[in-house]
Amino acid sequence: MPHTDRMKHTNTLFRLAAAVCLLAALPAWAGPPLICSNFQIGTAKSLPWKSTNGWNGVDSSYDTTRLIADTLALLAPSTPIKVRMETMRRAAIYSSRQQGLAGELTARLMARTLDAEATGDRQPQAWFDAGYFVESLRQATFIYRYDMLSPAERKQWVLRGDKPGLDGYAWVRKAIQLGGKDMEPALRLMEGYREADLRSEARRP
């Protein structure tokens, strides 16, 4: 095998190994994986969360007026992918309980990608964050659609899938093309629910 082909083969194996390790860190919860699969991040800093056997560990004492600033601060360039994913999972769940939060945080994450484009700075993390959060919001609508909430929670849940949303899948692909590491498993976690949602949108009158 030529040296170049060996290097490509080795790089492919490394990417596959990273994907297996990342997916292995997910517990097997039923439901949309970007919302229901909590990543084990050890002592890494993330949004406030209560220990629970389920997917919803919202801390009712957390001041959600800080959600956007806290989330942006936690998504620093050096933040590992697993911590980014868990932080955005928590942010999506918090923002599903209050009108306007999801849209405002999405806008701020998208602004980071525009800033990167304007300055010519390759920032795969910015594209990953914007795409991953948008797809987390998409999957959060299935929590409502699948009736996975108590009556009180269902009344409060504002992400219901009754309006077309953004499509973050291509943004995560762009992040990978820009050299983002360990991001491929996220695409696989998005695909099933993204396709189901796009089919649902196509059937709308």
Given CA atoms 20, 188, 174, 118 in this order, what sign does their dihedral have?
A: negative
Q: Please say if the pLDDT value at position 3 is more than 50.
A: no
Of 174, 194, 66, give the one whose Cα is nearest residue 134.
Answer: 194
Burial readout 152-170 (b: 16 or more C-beta within 10 A, e: otherwise): eeeeebebebeeebbbbbe
Q: What is the mean pLDDT of residues 124-140?
A: 97
Higher pLDDT, 19 or 124: 124
Residue pair 56/93 in contact (Cβ under 8 Å)? The answer is yes
How high is the pLDDT of residue 17?
A: 35
Residue pair 13/19 in contact (Cβ under 8 Å)? The answer is no
Residue pair 33/189 in contact (Cβ under 8 Å)? The answer is yes
pTM confidence score: 0.84
* pLDDT band per the 50, 70, 90 thresholds, residue 11: very low
* pLDDT band per the 50, 70, 90 thresholds, residue 204: low
- Type of residue numbered 19: A
Tokens for 87, please give them: 């932080």
Rounded to the nearest 5°, which phi and psi values hold at 203? -85, -10
How high is the pLDDT of residue 2?
A: 54
Q: Number of C-alpha atoms within 13 angstroms, CB side, residue 91?
A: 34
Rounded to the nearest 5°, which phi and psi values hold at 101? -65, -45
Higher pLDDT, 12 or 29: 29
Residue pair 91/62 in contact (Cβ under 8 Å)? The answer is no
Q: What is the mean pLDDT of residues 165-183?
A: 95
Q: Please say if the pLDDT value at position 23 is more than 80.
A: no
Residue 186: how many other CB atoms lie within 10 Å: 26
Domain residue spans in the chain? Answer: 3-203
| Three-state SS sequence of 145-178 | HCCCCCHHHHHHCCCCCCCCCCCCHHHHHHHHHC
Q: What is the mean pLDDT of residues 130-146?
A: 96
Query: What average pLDDT does the structure give for the chain?
Result: 86
